[in-house]
């Protein structure tokens, strides 16, 4: 990641449908092309934890796009993760700075073990 503290997380149907309780196929059947489905609002302003996939592009070229492999909005699981990794969270900010540090450690370990 870079100093913009901005990244993109790609969530496919299998992950999203767990949060909005509908499949992409169902959304397409009930919404016109270009319409924003109100169901997406169900994930707004929620604290979520993503398990993401790192690719060589993320490591070598600093791509800021990650595929989400698992996701949860369960408070207990998120709290356990925050405690385990000593992340600091306040109501006025998110954990992105601390996540950047954690990401750097993961990338270093991945590079070491995969010979990148």
* 15-53 confidence digits (pLDDT tens): 989 989 899 889 888 888 888 888 888 888 888 899 988
Phi, psi angles (nearest 5°) of residue 114: -105, 0
Strands of the sheet containing 65-72, edge to edge, are: 8-10, 65-72, 49-53
pTM of the prediction?
0.64
Question: Per the structure block, which two tokens stand in for 14?
Answer: 């299998």
94 vs 12 pLDDT, higher one: 12
Mean pLDDT over all residues of the chain? Answer: 78
């Amino acid at each position: 990641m870079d100093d913009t503290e901005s990244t993109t997380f790609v969530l496919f149907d299998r992950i999203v449908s767990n949060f909005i309780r509908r499949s992409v196929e169902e959304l397409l059947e009930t919404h016109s092309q270009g319409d924003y489905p109100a169901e997406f609002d169900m994930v707004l302003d929620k604290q979520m934890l993503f398990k993401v996939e790192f690719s060589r592009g993320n490591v070598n070229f600093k791509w800021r796009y990650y595929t989400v492999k698992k996701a949860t909005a369960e408070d207990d699981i998120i709290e356990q993760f925050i405690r385990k990794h000593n992340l600091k969270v306040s109501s006025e900010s998110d954990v992105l700075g601390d996540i950047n540090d954690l990401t750097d450690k993961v990338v270093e370990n991945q590079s070491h073990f995969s010979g990148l």
